[in-house]
Chains A and B, each alone.
With several copies, the nearest count.
Chain A
Amino acid sequence: MDIKVNVREAQGDTYVVDLNGEIDVYTSPKVKDAIGDLIDKGHYNLVINLEKVRYIDSTGLGVLIGGLKRVREHGGTVNLVCTNPQIKKIFDITGLVKIFGIYDDEDAAMKALV
């Protein structure tokens, strides 16, 4: 019912946001703040790792889309790591697969950034 957010620097000027838990209308502001902070500090190439996310709703998707919009304005991008079939299905249904790069592991998401 809660979300844990962990931000870490990776190679190059990329940052990884690890999310663990459930992203819904109650927890998504925390995710939004973490991503917003990174962008405010000038980091526009992000990997958001959803491997440990068990649940995401439209407010969570909205936060991801909002982040992508902002980094794109600076020529950056957001790649996602996602393996949970139910969450993959949600990206599929909503057509967000066409907008996000979605990868099975962090390495692949990272390589696709640079």
Chain B
Amino acid sequence: MVELRIPSKAEWVAVARLAVAAVANRLNFSIEDIEDVKLAVAEACTNCIQHAHGSDQIEITCETEPEGLTVRVRDYGRGTRPEAISSRRVDEPRVGGLGVFLIRSLMDSVEYDVHPERGTNLVMIKKVTN
């Protein structure tokens, strides 16, 4: 298991996505799959920074198995209502609301554990296809 902790600040999101991409690189993923994982991790971290008020750190853990990669992203900030974690496509130009949608689209399994005080715990899995 690889564990990473970054400050909940915009400048460190790139560290998280590059580290997780490096982990994913050890599995039999295509370049496209690795890009998917990178973006999903970045979206999850961005949401911690923008929405999880009161949390100063983000914890990212990666578990690798031959069949796939499990990434957990969690914060300890004020969480949201489960309904907020919905996702939508864009039919008219509206800013925002794409992060969770992208996470759900790019990963094979996405589970949000949302808690108003304990923060948000996201577990997502990308499967190795070939």
Partners in one complex: yes
Residues of A within 8 A of B (CB): 1-2, 22, 24-26, 55, 57-59, 61-62, 65-66, 68-69, 72, 85-86, 89-90, 93-96, 98-99
Task: Check A1 against B25 for contact (C-beta < 8 Å).
Answer: yes
Q: Which residues of B contact A95 (CB under 8 A)?
A: 89-91
- Report whether over half of chain A's contact residues are helix, strand or loop; otherwise say mixed: helix
Also in contact, A24 and B13, with CB within 8 A (given A1-B25, A65-B90, A66-B95): yes
Task: Check B42 against A57 for contact (C-beta < 8 Å).
Answer: yes
B102 in complex: contacting residue of A25, A93, A99, CB < 8 Å? A93
A55 in complex: contacting residue of B38, B46, B91, B105, CB < 8 Å? B38
Judge if B94 is at the interface, Cβ distance under 8 Å.
yes
Judge if B11 is at the interface, Cβ distance under 8 Å.
yes
Task: Check A94 against B11 for contact (C-beta < 8 Å).
Answer: no
* Nearest Cβ on chain B to A55's Cβ, whole angstroms: 7
Task: Check B98 against A99 for contact (C-beta < 8 Å).
Answer: no
Task: Check B93 against A65 for contact (C-beta < 8 Å).
Answer: yes
Task: Check B46 against A93 for contact (C-beta < 8 Å).
Answer: no
Interface centre among A57, A95, A96 (most CB of B within 10 A): A57
* Nearest Cβ on chain A to B53's Cβ, whole angstroms: 16
Task: Check B102 against A58 for contact (C-beta < 8 Å).
Answer: yes
